[in-house]
Each structure stands twice: as C-alpha cells, then as structure tokens.
Amino acid sequence: MAVKTEIICGTTWWNDVPMPHVTPGVVAGEWRLDQDYHFGSVLPDGRAFVIWIRHGFTFDGASIPRSLWRVCGAPMEIPRIAAALIHDWLYRAQVCDRELADEIFNFVCKTVGMSSWRTGPEWAALRAFGGSAWNENRKEWAKVSAARELGSLVLEGEEIK
C-alpha cells in the first residue's frame, strides 16, 4: 500500500501521522526527540486522544529482535518511528493502562499504512511479552516521573498526566 507523504511546516507526514524529528542518543540504540511532538486522533472505538511529548525524551524504538528485522522491519524504521515514540513514552510515563498504550501503538502503525502481516504479529508479541517492560517501568518511579514531565496524554477531553 502506498503511503501518502507530504511536508507541512518542516514536518513529514505519513498519511495522518507526523513523523518525529530524532537524532541518535548518547547511549547506543537510543534516540532523542529533537522537537516537541504532537499527535491526536480517534481510536476505532470512538475514543479521542491527543499526545504531546516534549523534545529531549529518549527512547529505543520498537523492541524487535534483530533476527526478525528482515520480516518485521527495524525498530526505528519509518513510518514505525512515530508509533514507537508514542508507545515508549506511554510505557515510561504510565499515564494510561497498558492495554490502551498497546492499542494506540497498533492504531498508529495501521494509520501510517503498515500492513496487517506486520501489525498482527507485532500486536500479538506486544500483548504476550510487553508486560515485563510495563512492570519494569512501573518499579522505576524516577523514570516515570521524569517521563511525565516530558509529555501529556489527553483522552476523551480529560488530561491524564
């Protein structure tokens, strides 16, 4: 499926999703958000959401084993990068439950035009194995607190920060 790309005010858009501006972080495998990132949409169940992540947030992208990169794509592959940024921030900030964080990741992947043969296995792996990352982040309150300072989530008109 071809993905419509356009540049608006210096931002590249894939379908209706803005691509974040990132550079490699200090730690190998991490990326740093160079500009504030905003994205909002409506989930298939009708819930509207808006996410705002401030520049400076670091993230590692989708957790895809290297052995699967040929099949699934690399962790920071465009257009997956937006979904990875949002998901990593939601997992770190813990401003919603894990199910919603995973649902938003899956929704963004589909919105940018990723095929179902990629999103289906990623969704299944995320639901099966993502709990350990969610729980690990929950234990590290300093990271959770710092991540909350670098963004916010508004769901159905109520700010959750």
Q: Which of 46-55, 89-98, 151-160 has the lowest mean pLDDT?
A: 151-160
Q: Full-prediction pTM beyond 0.85? A: no
Q: What is the pLDDT of residues 38-88, one digit of tens each?
A: 998 889 998 889 999 999 998 887 666 566 656 666 555 666 788 889 999
Could you read off the pLDDT of 125-153 as tens digits, one per residue? 888 888 988 998 888 877 777 777 888 88
Residues 6 or more apart whose CB falls under 8 angstroms from that of 83 comprise 62, 105, 108, 109, 112
Q: Is 6 exposed, middle or buried (0-12, 13-18, 19+ CB in 10 A)?
A: exposed
pLDDT at 102: 94
Q: Can you give the pLDDT at residue 144?
A: 72
Q: Is the peptide bond before 79 cis (omega within 30 degrees of 0)?
A: yes
Q: Are 153 and 51 in contact (CB under 8 A)?
A: yes
Contact call for residues 152 and 52 (beta carbons, < 8 A): yes
The CA distance from 8 to 105, in Å, is 23
pLDDT at 37: 92
Structure-model confidence comparison of residues 74 and 116, the more confident one:
116
Which structural domain range is residue 128 located in?
A: 5-160
The tally of domains found in the chain comes to: 1
Q: Is the dihedral of CA 81, 82, 83, 86 positive or negative?
A: positive
Residues in a beta bridge with 42? 48
* pLDDT score for 15: 55
* Residue 4 binned pLDDT confidence (cut-offs 50, 70, 90): very low
Range of 22-26, 29-33, 86-90, 116-120 with top mean pLDDT: 86-90
